[in-house]
Amino acid sequence: MHLDADVGAGSRSLCFVSATMLIVLALLMMTGCMTPTPVATPVATPMTTSALTYPPAPRGTVVDDYHGTRVADPWRWMETTDSPATSAWIAAENRLAENYISSLPGRDRFAVRLRQLLNYERQSPPQREHGVYAYLWNPGQAEQDALRVTHDLADPGRVLVDPSAIRADGTVSISSFSLSPDGKRVAYALSDGGSDWNTWHVRDVATGEDAADTLAGTKFTSVSWSRDSSGFYYSRYPLLAQSEAGTNADYDDHQQVALYFHRLGTLQSADQKIYEITDHPTRDPYAAVTPDGRFLVYTIEDGYLSNAIYYQRLAGPGRRGELVKLLDAWDGRYDFLGNVGDTFYFQTTAGAPRGRIVAIDTRATAATLRELIPESGDAIAATALIGNQLVVQTIHDVAARLQIYTLDGQLQSTVMLPGQGTVSGLYGEAGNPEGFLSYTDFTTPRQVFRLNVATTVLTPVAPPIAGSSGGGSARLLDPARYQSRQVFYTSKDGTRVPMTIVHRRDVQPDGETPTVLYGYGGFNVSLLPAYSSARMAWIDAGGVYAQANLRGGGEYGESWHMAGTVLHKQNVFDDFIAAAEWLVANGITSSSHLAIWGGSNGGLLVGAVLNQRPELFAAALPAVGVMDMLRYQTASLNARKWSSDYGLSEVPEQFAAL
């Protein structure tokens, strides 16, 4: 959902696009960029908005009736994004924007610095199977991350899948991958042009050759291999009427997914349907095989607030026992952590808005939750079952903490992290004490660490790869040159909200310092300190960056999330407006020097706040925003699931709020 991350299963091109948009804000807000002294003078734009001639957008006559209220929708024709009329309008808008952006003073200097900041080697935490490690890697300048494999993390190994070899223009990316249990093959998913649709392939680790297997019709699904490596489970959408399996265009994402098993060496059309939901119109099944091969665990999804967990015992290839609906009350989120023997472990919000860890003995006649780690004052962000211990990541005032517990819930130790930042990618298995995670903060590029749960020691994983830039950002940046501080401000209804402010140490905000305020506020997503080349280009040039932790996020658990959803969504906007007002009132910046930025749900945030308080901001970037709140749910069944945060125009009181 975020466009400003530098690493992961994402793309450098998306990062660069996001950074370029931020630079447009920068150039509108400051001059003298790339100087060692504070910058606080607003730049005169090269042309006034009155000089811009926008492409015509003819008004249609569509009017919808919502519960007796008639709402005009004159640009409904733009929803057909691939029509000649819409394509021509988009192309004309892009030409207008490019002509304007290219004339902004200082753009070239910003671009040079941004390329320097992007040019550092980075990788994701690895997967591990049968002595083989696989991870995403970028040497610093590649448009997309490549997939590498190695038998020893001290040796970088070799590139197994390189998206640039598939298409040189950088529009194809690896969105997901999964090693087979025998370490001989990897299933990997490709996204074309940033689409949510994925196409899965299978590559031989030893030879680097693709098998004939090709799977289409998937979004948002991982694959889970059978432990004999003969195939994998995955979830896909049904075919459109009168379509034959071939491309993603043949599948209907307005319907529910079903769970299938794909056997290697066979056509997708021969895949066995394992399970589908026929008694509810919006619930989707996904499944994973436990590392010991004893269970197939189903996660049933419907929105972001609650889910269900089912399972089957596996008695051998193709042999599954009775489906057991283990957790089907839909009373919270249950994240399956793994099993030790017949005991399942979960992180859950059921009865605990900030999260707790529970266990269930599947041999018992009735599913009874046994609480291991109770809810505390800090929200649980993630948990992993590693080496028969529970590694729990919590959030304390917008910074990660990491603690290790026994399977009985006894605190063993606290892992010393490199700083006050973000932990992500926490990975491991019950039978192996070796785990992995990544760490970052505002001035530290993401670094992968190996975690030994027996010793609690974090060891950096940084394979020296010949010919790479080898950590360019570390050389270009001295963290000591920058400072960050956390403040708490009061929102409209009296709620105390945290915000972090970052700038160069030699920049003394004086009430007119160019400032970018960033927010998200939705879907239980926590905004913790994280490095971004785009943000650093702004900070390095003398600007102030402020990140507000709005309600709707997960920084303080499910109650904080729910306080910014559906009929309470206005709280998110009020929190953001209050953050801007605090920055002005406390002498950081002024309305004429303040820009706001957010993407996706954060784009909705910026759009709404810009409409409500246009005088408070000088520039705004509502990147890929969810803007049509009365019809967003019509795009796909997945989009409809966003209603757990937004509500639906079909419901009268929610329509009024929307």
- Of the candidates 584, 580, 612, 572, the one whose C-alpha atom is nearest the C-alpha of residue 596 is 580
Average pLDDT, the chain: 90
Measure the CA–CA gap between 622 and 297, rounded to whole angstroms: 39
* Half-sphere exposure (Cβ direction) of 171: Cα atoms closer than 13 Å: 5
Condensed to tens digits (0 to 9), the pLDDT of residues 626-641 reads 999 999 999 999 999 9
Token readout for 339 is 């099993």
SS3 243: coil
Measure the CA–CA gap between 579 and 574, rounded to whole angstroms: 9
Task: Output the pLDDT for position 50.
Answer: 58
Average pLDDT estimate for 350-360: 97
pTM: predicted TM-score of the whole model, two decimal places: 0.89
Radius of gyration of the chain (CA): 25
The set of residues, in sequence order, having a beta carbon less than 8 Å from that of 196 and lying 6+ positions away, is 219, 220, 638
The set of residues, in sequence order, having a beta carbon less than 8 Å from that of 620 and lying 6+ positions away, is 595, 596, 597, 606, 610
Percentage with pLDDT > 70 across the chain: 90
Average pLDDT estimate for 292-302: 97
Condensed to tens digits (0 to 9), the pLDDT of residues 391-402 reads 999 999 999 999
Average pLDDT estimate for 536-549: 96
Measure the CA–CA gap between 82 and 255, rounded to whole angstroms: 21
Average pLDDT estimate for 358-383: 94
- Of the candidates 192, 184, 179, the one whose C-alpha atom is nearest the C-alpha of residue 218 is 192
SS3 226: coil
Condensed to tens digits (0 to 9), the pLDDT of residues 190-232 reads 999 989 999 999 999 999 999 999 999 999 999 999 999 999 9
Task: Output the pLDDT for position 316.
Answer: 75
Reply yes or no on whether the pLDDT at 450 is more than 50: yes
The set of residues, in sequence order, having a beta carbon less than 8 Å from that of 94 and lying 6+ positions away, is none
Contact 216, 246 (CB under 8 A): yes
Contact 198, 178 (CB under 8 A): no
Relative to beta strand 515-518, strand 544-548 is parallel
Contact 394, 380 (CB under 8 A): yes
Contact 545, 516 (CB under 8 A): yes
C-alpha torsion angle, residues 203, 208, 211, 213 (rounded to 10): 30
The set of residues, in sequence order, having a beta carbon less than 8 Å from that of 539 and lying 6+ positions away, is 482, 502, 503, 504, 545
Percentage with pLDDT > 90 across the chain: 82
Q: Which of 590 and 431 is assigned the larger pLDDT?
A: 590
Condensed to tens digits (0 to 9), the pLDDT of residues 481-499 reads 999 999 999 999 999 999 9
* Half-sphere exposure (Cβ direction) of 469: Cα atoms closer than 13 Å: 21
Reply yes or no on whether the pLDDT at 94 is more than 70: yes
Q: How many CB atoms lie within 10 A of CB 281?
A: 11
Beta bridge partners of 397: none
The set of residues, in sequence order, having a beta carbon less than 8 Å from that of 447 and lying 6+ positions away, is 418, 438, 439, 440, 460, 462
Condensed to tens digits (0 to 9), the pLDDT of residues 3-32 reads 344 544 333 333 444 555 565 666 556 543
